[in-house]
Each structure stands twice: as structure tokens, then as C-alpha cells.
Amino acid sequence: MSNSQENLVRVSIFGQEYTVKAHADSNYIADVAQYVDKKMRELEETLPSTQSSTRIAILAAMSITDDLFSSKRDNKNVIDQVEDKAAALIEILDESLVSG
């Protein structure tokens, strides 16, 4: 995903053009921008009245951050479950080695 060269990529988010400079593949940058644009447009459709693009951007950022935090929490839960099962298996193996 990242390389040693910075890429300049022109993207469009919510009707505004931006030039993004990053150490990431230009397709990745475009995908990120497209995701943000999609989230902002989806949010705009759910709002009861016309809102400023700044308000929509902030609400979209909060929604994306909520998705990220939820995903991190879910990943931590899965890791905790795997670690618990691994510990239980190690305990079973240790017991069978001692008694066997």
C-alpha cells in the first residue's frame, strides 16, 4: 500500500476537487476519497433539510470513526477469543504431556 515516493492524486469529494499528496498508491487514495464521498452523500440523503457541507463532513467523519472503532472492538474480541482458546489448548496439551 505504501511506497517511498509521494503521489499527487486529484480526487473529488462531495463536489469539491482536492489534490492529495501521500505515500500511498494512487488507486488507494482514490478509493479512500470515493468512500468518504459515498458516506457524505448517504448521510446527506438521511438529513431532514439542507445542511452545510461542513456539517455533513463532520457527521460523516463521526460515522466513519464509529465504524473504525466498532471494527477495532470486534477485532479485539476475536483476538481475545483466539487467545483464550489457545491458552485452553496449551493447558490440555501440558496436562496430557505430564500425565502421559
Instruction: For residue range 34-91, list pLDDT tens digits in order.
Output: 999 999 999 999 999 999 999 999 999 999 999 999 999 999 999 999 999 999 999 9
At 4 the pLDDT is 61
At 2 the pLDDT is 44
Residue 8 has pLDDT above 90, yes or no: yes
Q: Indicate the number of domains in the chain.
A: 1
Which residue, among 19, 25, 56, 26, has the nearest Cα to 38 in the 3D structure? 56
pLDDT digits (tens, 9 = 90+) for 63-77: 999 999 999 999 999
Please give the residue range of the domain that contains residue 45.
Answer: 2-99
| Confidence tier at 100 by pLDDT (50, 70, 90) | low
Give 40: exposed, middle or buried? Use CB within 10 Å, 0-12, 13-18, 19+.
Answer: buried
Query: Please, are residues 37 and 13 in contact by the beta-carbon 8 Å criterion?
Result: yes
Q: What's the rounded Cα separation, in Å, for the pair 70 and 86? A: 24
At 5 the pLDDT is 80
- Of the two residues 3 and 44, the one the predictor is more confident about is 44
Grid cell 496449551 is found at 90
Which residues have CB under 8 Å from 3's CB, separation 6+? 23, 24, 25
